[in-house]
Amino acid sequence: MSNNKSTIDFGFSEVPLEEKVKRVKGVFDSVAGNYDIMNDVMSLGIHRVWKRQTIDLSGVRPGYKVLDLAGGTGDLTKAFAKRVGKTGQVILADINESMVRVGRDRLINQGISGNVDYTITNAEALAFPDNSFDVATIAFGLRNVTNKDQALAELYRVLKPGGQLLILEFSKVTNPAMAKLYDFYSFNILPKMGKVIADDEASYQYLAESIRMHPDQETLKQMMLQAGFDKAEYLNMSQGIVALHRGWKY
């Protein structure tokens, strides 16, 4: 959603627009080293299923050029690198240097190299020419972007005609009983887990709050269409805890 105010949400707080990037950077600087462990613990490992379905629906083939925006520690990049092969290319891009460093070291240690590049870039001003990528993904990153409309417009710009964007993100739970249980877990258990595992309760409190401030499924779909995408749809996963939005540039 566009924001004409001088402030923006940072979780449930309002902060000056120019401060959100710095605050989000602080969160991910703090959690980078424990990010993969916490993902497994927080989601009971289900995040791997969500990501696998995203990869399968991407249609990525040998020779494709793929942008993994907010690529973090490289889960999607690793899978895409195997799919695009030697003739393709995957770029792991993130605004946070700590996350890029962790992702690069992790993938190199796992033998993923040759067709993967790494860059630090802001989703609102992508450092790539028009019509560069066959597929772009942003997984669990869009909710941290200050100007989501601008980021969506940039993703549309860098996709080739015929390209596809996939947004994997926490969304609005569709079942009321599940929603109550999820809220209890998010605000009473998740931050405590962050304290025990990562010695960082505040960052995981922010993550829980940022999920609630993110646009719901229909709102994000409309934002994608307004950003220029010719077609947009979404698939709920785990009763809407996560949604996979897909947009096409024709």
Query: Which parts are annotated binding residues for S-adenosyl-L-methionine?
Result: 73, 94, 122-123
The mean pLDDT of 209-234, rounded to a whole number, is 96
Six token digits for residue 177? 């009983």
What integer pLDDT is reported at residue 197 of this predicted model?
A: 78
User: 3-state SS of the chain: helix, strand, coil percent to 5?
Assistant: 50, 25, 25
Distance CA 25, CA 74 (A): 17
The pTM is what?
A: 0.89
Identify the band that residue 73 occupies on the pLDDT scale cut at 50, 70 and 90: confident
Q: Any idea which residue has 């899978």 for tokens?
A: 79
Q: How many residues does the chain have?
A: 250
Identify the band that residue 5 occupies on the pLDDT scale cut at 50, 70 and 90: low
pLDDT single digits (tens) 186-196: 999 988 888 88
Predicted confidence (pLDDT) at residue 26 exceeds the cutoff of 80: no
Domain ranges of the chain: 7-174+205-248
Query: Which parts are annotated binding residues?
Result: 73, 94, 122-123
Distance CA 118, CA 71 (A): 9
Six token digits for residue 171? 């969304």
Give me the phi and psi of 85, to 5 degrees please: 70, -165
Q: What is the CATH number of domain 7-174+205-248?
A: 3.40.50.150
What integer pLDDT is reported at residue 196 of this predicted model?
A: 85
In the chain, the largest separation of any two C-alpha atoms, in whole Å, equals: 48
What integer pLDDT is reported at residue 3 of this predicted model?
A: 47
Predicted confidence (pLDDT) at residue 32 exceeds the cutoff of 80: no
What is the identity of the amino acid at 156? Answer: Y
CB of 77 closer than 8 Å to CB of 68: yes
Give me the phi and psi of 89, to 5 degrees please: -150, 140
